[in-house]
Amino acid sequence: MSWDADSSDEELMLCYRDGDAGAFDALYRRHRGGLYRYLLRQCRDAGVAEELFQDVWMNLIRARSGYAVTAKFTTYLYRVAHNRLIDHYRKHAHAAVASFDDEDCEELESLPEQRERPPDAALDAKRQAERLLALVAELPDAQREAFLLQQEGGMSVEEIAQATGVTRETAKSRLRYAMAKLRQGMGEWR
Amino acid sequence: MALKDPMRGGGPPQEHRDPRLTRLYRAASGEEPPARLDAAILAAARREVGSRPRAVGSFLRAWRMPVAIAAVIVLSVSLVTLMMEEGRDPISEAPPPVAPPAAEAPVPPSADAVKELRDAPSKERAAVAQPPVAKPEPAPAPRVSVPGSRGLESKEPGAPAPAPAKTAAPFPSAAQEQRQADDAAGRRALPQPEPASAPRADRESAPPAPARALRAPPPAAAPAEAARARSEAGALRSDRPLAGGLQKSALLSELEREPPEKWLERIEELRRQGEAAVAGEVLAEFKRRFPNHPLPAGLR
């Protein structure tokens, strides 16, 4: 089986399963940034993120011989990452576990507190980006995860549900609240 | 607080996205894993499959198909060329079907001749026991097939003689092949005679077979079976007058490609015409050619 730059993730993984290390290189370069940022924003520690990042890829490498296309590769990859993250939370008694277990559809009144309107209306894009990242960091873990899976993994609601092991409605609710909070937080700068 | 939910009601993934947020997020998020981590993971991946870097793999992948196609083409062309050469040889390189070697003429009675004597009616025994007429019988051109001639010429002198079935076959009909097979079976049952073409003195002091074959020149070393077949064919086709003014060769030529039923009809017809002797000879020939064919009650 051969592959090229246009090959799908699943084809690349199948090639790697069949012994083509070059296919893994291409696959890794496609997803390294998104997966790393997903882990970094979820655990908020670069060192831990690197450790988890390496664990996820090593799990993938070790499981290559048994790989079969049962879902989109990104769903598979981020599900591995999600599980590894949950393990990390449990190991370190992270409060996020409760956040993942509960339905966190709190009222939108509990949104992050309103920021002061910046003095300069022509705030540059960099400061807007910084503001957005701050808002993302303040999101509940489950909502933030849904948002990051959409942004970094390019996943749909159904794929987010598969990757995080929840129903489609739960995933949709988390994503909806996350987007609403971010829009509300950034709205004053629109 | 009422929330205006743009995603309410579901829909395609695009409806769950906010382009402005996406644009802002992409501008803000540019973190990448450190290079050492990349190297460690890629090295682990290569170790896992035990393969080399992509440069070599891609080179092999790129050339695998062209090399395979070229190999298939070369093999196919070689095979076709060989097959064409093999198929052309018997036609283009075969010697003329006539002109049997001079040593063929004085063929002493062979085991086949003895067998023929046993099978043939007494009237014909004398003719068969005589050395065949030296006059060579030109075989019909379309029927001549000498598949083993090239092998005879190109073989080393010490090479064993080919099987009788592969030597000159002036009558390549199914009946003739059947007869030759029967003859071969009969020869196997009888004590094996010496080759008919070998002189008696030579036979008496004959060394083992390979040495004897080395002594004989290649053209004269034509297998005794081929000579026997030719002499037999000559005997059958000779225009010896038969009883009743009929010629056996003419009859045999007429019946040669006919089915057994036609033979039987002809025999009956001869009997009705009072040609009992000829009918008997033809019947004897019929029994030789079709030993397993049932005979009508009147002919048994």
Calculate how close chain B gets to A11, using CA atoms only, in Å: 15
pLDDT band at A98 (very low <50, low <70, confident <90, very high): low
What is the pLDDT at residue A29?
94
pLDDT tens, position by position, A61-94: 999 888 889 889 999 999 999 999 999 988 886 6
Interface check A42 vs B, CB under 8 A: no
Look at residue B79 and tell me if it is in a domain.
Answer: no
Q: Are residues B225 and B269 in the same domain?
A: no
Is B233 a domain residue? yes
Specify the pLDDT at position A79. Answer: 93
Is residue A153 within 8 Å of A82, Cβ to Cβ? no
Of A61, A107, A176, the CB nearest to B45: A61
Interchain contact B51–A (C-beta under 8 A): yes
State the span(s) of chain A assigned CATH 1.10.1740.10: 1-94
The answer on B152 and B214 residing in a single domain is yes
Q: Which of A170-184, B148-162, B272-286 comes out lowest in average pLDDT?
A: B148-162
Are B184 and B135 contained in the same domain? yes
Residue B172: count of CB within 10 angstroms of its CB = 13
The pLDDT value recorded for residue B179 is 56
Distance from CA of B34 to the nearest CA of A (A): 8
Q: In percent, how much of chain B has pLDDT > 90? A: 10
Under the banding of pLDDT at 50, 70 and 90, the label for residue A27 is very high
Q: Give A74's contacts in chain B (Cβ within 8 Å).
A: none
pLDDT of the residue at B93? 54
Q: Is residue B296 predicted with pLDDT exceeding 60?
A: yes
Distance from CA of B19 to the nearest CA of A (A): 11
Residues B225 and B287 in one domain: no
Q: Report pLDDT digits (tens) over B61-101.
A: 678 888 999 999 999 999 999 998 887 655 555 555 555 55
State the span(s) of chain A assigned CATH 1.10.10.10.
104-190
Between B52 and B284, residue with greater pLDDT? B284
CA B129 to chain centre: 35
Are B255 and B262 a contacting pair, CB within 8 Å? Answer: yes
Q: How many CB pairs under 8 A join A and B?
A: 128
Q: Does B5 touch chain A (CB under 8 A)?
A: yes
pLDDT at B96: 55
Q: 3-class SS at A115?
A: coil
Task: Compute the average pLDDT of residues B49-56.
Answer: 58
B52 or A178, greater pLDDT: A178
Residue B41: CB partners within 8 Å, gap ≥ 6?
Answer: A28, A54, A57, A58, A61
**Same domain as B250, residue B233:** no
What is the torsional sign of CA A129, A133, A135, A136? positive
What does the alpha-carbon distance between residue A33 and residue B145 come to, in Å, rounded to a whole number? 79
- Please indicate if any CB of chain A lies within 8 Å of the CB of B31: yes
Between B96 and B150, where is the model more confident?
A: B96
Contact at 8 Å (CB) between B237 and B262? no
Q: Which has more pLDDT, B263 or A119? A: B263
Inter-chain contact B16–A21, Cβ cutoff 8 Å? Answer: no
Higher pLDDT, B88 or B212: B88
**Chain A contact for B38, CB < 8 A?**
yes
The alpha-carbon gap from B143 to the nearest alpha carbon of chain A, in Å, equals: 56
Answer yes or no: is pLDDT of B1 > 60.
no
- Nearest C-alpha of chain A: how many angstroms from B13? 5
DSSP B99: -
> Does the beta-carbon distance from A179 to B27 stay under 8 Å?
no
Q: Going by CATH, does the domain composed of A1-94 fall within 3.40.50.2300?
A: no
Cβ contacts (< 8 Å) between B11 and chain A: which residues? none
Verify whether the Cβ–Cβ distance B20 to A182 is below 8 Å: no
Task: Report the gap between the CA of B43 and the closest CA in chain A (Å).
Answer: 9
Mean pLDDT across B128-157? 43
Given a cut of 50, whether residue B57 has pLDDT beyond it is: yes
C-beta atoms of A21 and B33 within 8 A: no
> Are the Cβ atoms of A179 and B7 closer than 8 angstroms?
yes
Beta-bridged to residue A11, according to DSSP, are: none
How many CB atoms are located within 10 Å of the residue A93 CB? 7
**Residues B296 and B217 occupy one common structural domain:** no
Parent domain of B278 = 240-300
The domain A104-190: what is its CATH number? Answer: 1.10.10.10
Residue-level pLDDT at B126 = 44
On chain B, the residues whose CB falls within 8 A of the CB of A125 are 24, 27
**B225 pLDDT band (50/70/90 cuts)?**
low
Using CB atoms, which residue from B6, B32, B50 is nearest to A36?
A: B32
Contact (CB<8Å) B45/A53: no
DSSP per-residue string spanning A45-110: -HHHHHHHHHHHHHHHHHTGGG---SS-HHHHHHHHHHHHHHHHHHHTT-THHHHHHS-----GGG
Q: Give B76 to chain A, closest Cα distance, Å.
A: 26
Q: What is the mean pLDDT of residues B122-149?
A: 44
As for how many domains chain B has, the answer is 2
B40 contacts chain A (CB < 8 A):
yes
Which of B47-56, B63-72, B199-208 is predicted least confidently? B199-208
Instruction: Report yes or no: A20 and A3 within 8 Å, Cβ to Cβ.
Output: yes
Read off the pLDDT of residues A160-184 as tens digits, 9 standing for 90 and up. 999 999 999 999 999 999 999 998 8
Mutation test of the interface with chain B: which of A150, A158, A167, choosing the one with the most B Cβ atoms within 10 A? A150
> Ranked by mean pLDDT, which of B118-127, B136-145, B242-251, B279-288 comes out on top?
B279-288
pLDDT exceeds 80 at position B300: no
| B229 plus B245 within the same structural domain | no
Q: B119 and B219 in one domain?
A: yes
Q: Is A130 on the interface with B (CB under 8 A)?
A: yes
Q: Report the largest interatomic distance among the alpha carbons of chain B, rounded to a whole angstrom.
A: 132
Q: Percentage of residues in chain A with pLDDT exceeding 70?
A: 82
Is some CB atom of chain B closer than 8 A to the CB atom of A58? yes
The answer to whether position B230 is within a domain reads yes
Pair B128, B213 in one domain: yes
Residue of A50, A133, A179 lying closest to B33 (CB–CB): A50
Q: Mean pLDDT across chain B, nearest whole number?
A: 62
Classify residue B78: in a domain, yes or no.
no
ipTM, 2 dp: 0.84
C-alpha to C-alpha distance for B247 and A59, rounded to whole angstroms: 97
User: Domain for residue B284, yes or no?
Assistant: yes
List the single residue in B10, B21, B32 with the smallest CB-CB distance to A182: B21
Q: Is B108 on the interface with A (CB under 8 A)?
A: no
Mean pLDDT of B247-267: 81
Burial B73-108 (b: 16+ CB within 10 A, else e): eeeeeeeeeeeeeeeeeeeeebeebeebeebbeebe
Does residue B139 carry a pLDDT above 50?
no
- Token readout for A103 is 């339905």
| Beta-ladder partners of B247 | B241
Residue B282 has pLDDT above 60, yes or no: yes
Whether B26 is in a domain gets the answer no
One domain, residues B287 and B188: no
Work out the average pLDDT over B197-217: 43
Same-domain check for residues B128 and B221: yes
- Tell me, yes or no, if B43 comes closer than 8 A to chain A by beta carbon: no
pLDDT value, residue A3: 83
Q: Which of B153, B149, B151, B132 is nearest to B197 (CA)?
A: B132
In a domain, B97, yes or no: no
* pLDDT of B189: 46
Q: What is the pLDDT of residue A152?
A: 93
Confidence at residue A138, expressed as pLDDT on a 0 to 100 scale: 93
Strand partners, B241: B247
Q: What is the pLDDT of residue B129?
A: 42
For A99-155, what is each residue's pLDDT tens digit?
Answer: 665 555 554 445 454 454 554 544 577 788 888 999 999 999 999 999 999 999 999
Chain B hits for A127, CB-CB cut-off 8 Å, are none
pLDDT classification of B152: cutoffs 50, 70, 90: very low
Same domain, yes or no: B129 and B163: yes
Evaluate whether residue B213 is within a structural domain: yes
